[in-house]
Amino acid sequence: MDEGALYELAESIRAQGIMQPILVRRLSQGAHAGKYEIIAGERRSRAAKLAGLERVPVLVRDVPNEAAAAMALIENIQREDLNPLEEAQGLQRLIREFGLTHEQAAQAVGRSRSAASNLLRLLNLADPVQSMLMAGDLEMGHARALLSLDRAAQITAANQVAAKSLSVRETESLVKKLGAEFQLVTQKPKKEKSRDLRRIEEELSDLLTAEVEVRIKKRVKRNGRVEEMGDISIQFGSLDELNGLIERLRGAE
């Protein structure tokens, strides 16, 4: 937790009190049986202690372990001081650990599906670039511009962005300039896909927690019917991600 933000929250609580009760549950098993565990409101609880409050308003709920963990994670993702990469990592946990679809994860944290997808794409950045984003050396706009480059080029460009304090627009220009040397091969403009094809892509993306593209290469006529033929592209950012994809495909058998 950011100490500065925590002290600011403490000052607000000292002046106005806690506006939203802290969500807790009573533990029934283990060494802490009979005690209460905070599900949502850890920051408010700590800030209240800093503000000198001896009592705080709470709501007691009977919540299973998995649901409690998901609720705590969702509240953490919704923090205002969260870095975009931390938010992306939280969304990925909701999808992988709790079985939420991209749509459900986005709704849980109050994001649109497209905004959640843009955040999740940040996890495809090269590790050094992710570290720069986490440290605040790059902003979300810089990171999104760098995603169109391969990983080696991302690192080269990110170092230039940080060293020269480039704006997002300047970063986009740099990415175009590096294109001749590093940038991934661009594809021809794609024809508008049918609603059914987009739905299939979304369902596959949700199942695999990876970006999936279905491409129709040609149409042939068989027995009086037009059949579409093509291929499926699944994106991954590392060998670990690829191994995870393979495991999820095996699990879907």
CB 186 within 8 A of CB 149: no
Looking at the fold, whether 167 and 212 belong to one and the same domain comes out as: no
Q: What is the CATH number of the domain that holds 143?
A: 1.10.10.2830
Q: Kindly tell me if the per-residue pLDDT of 186 is higher than 70.
A: no
Q: Which residues contact 208 (CB under 8 A, 6 or more apart)?
A: 234, 245, 248, 249
Task: Kindly report which listed range (119-133, 145-159, 193-207) carries the lowest average pLDDT score.
Answer: 193-207
Question: Which domain range does residue 227 map to?
Answer: 195-251
| Lowest-pLDDT range of 151-165, 180-194, 218-232 | 180-194
Q: Is residue 207 part of a domain?
A: yes
Regarding whether 165 and 71 lie in a shared domain, the answer is no
Told to judge if 42 belongs to the known catalytic residues of this protein, a careful annotator would answer: yes
Assess whether 61 and 105 both reside in one domain: yes
Whether 7 and 107 share a structural domain: yes
**CA dist 11 → 21, 41, 47, 70, 216 (Å):** 17, 16, 8, 29, 59
Kindly state whether residues 93 and 15 are assigned to the same domain: yes
Residues 58 and 38 in one domain: yes
pLDDT at 180 over 80: no
Say yes or no: 131 and 67 in one domain.
Answer: no
User: Considering the domain boundaries, does residue 33 fall inside one?
Assistant: yes
Dist CA 207 CA 70 (whole Å):
19
* Identified catalytic residue from 8, 42, 54, 97: 42
User: Taken in order 154, 1, 35, 17, is the CA torsion positive or negative?
Assistant: negative
Q: What pLDDT, in 10s, does the model give residues 35-76?
A: 898 988 888 899 999 999 989 999 998 888 888 888 888 887
Helix (H) or strand (E) holding 37: strand 36-40
The domain tally of the chain equals: 3
Same domain, 108 and 26: yes
Q: What is the DSSP letter of 110?
A: T
Examine the domain organization and report whether 12 and 85 are in the same domain: yes
> Do 30 and 107 fall within a single domain?
yes
Cα 231 to Cα 69: distance, rounded to the nearest angstrom: 38
The verdict on 221 and 169 lying in the same domain is no
CATH of residue 39's domain is 3.90.1530.30
CB 47 within 8 A of CB 6: yes
Whether 76 and 90 have beta carbons less than 8 Å apart is answered as: yes
- In which element (H, E) is residue 214 found? strand 212-222
Contact 133, 125 (CB under 8 A): yes
Best CA proximity match to 122, nearest among 176, 85, 93: 85
In a domain, 185, yes or no: no
142 within a domain of the structure (yes/no): yes
Does one domain contain both 29 and 78? yes
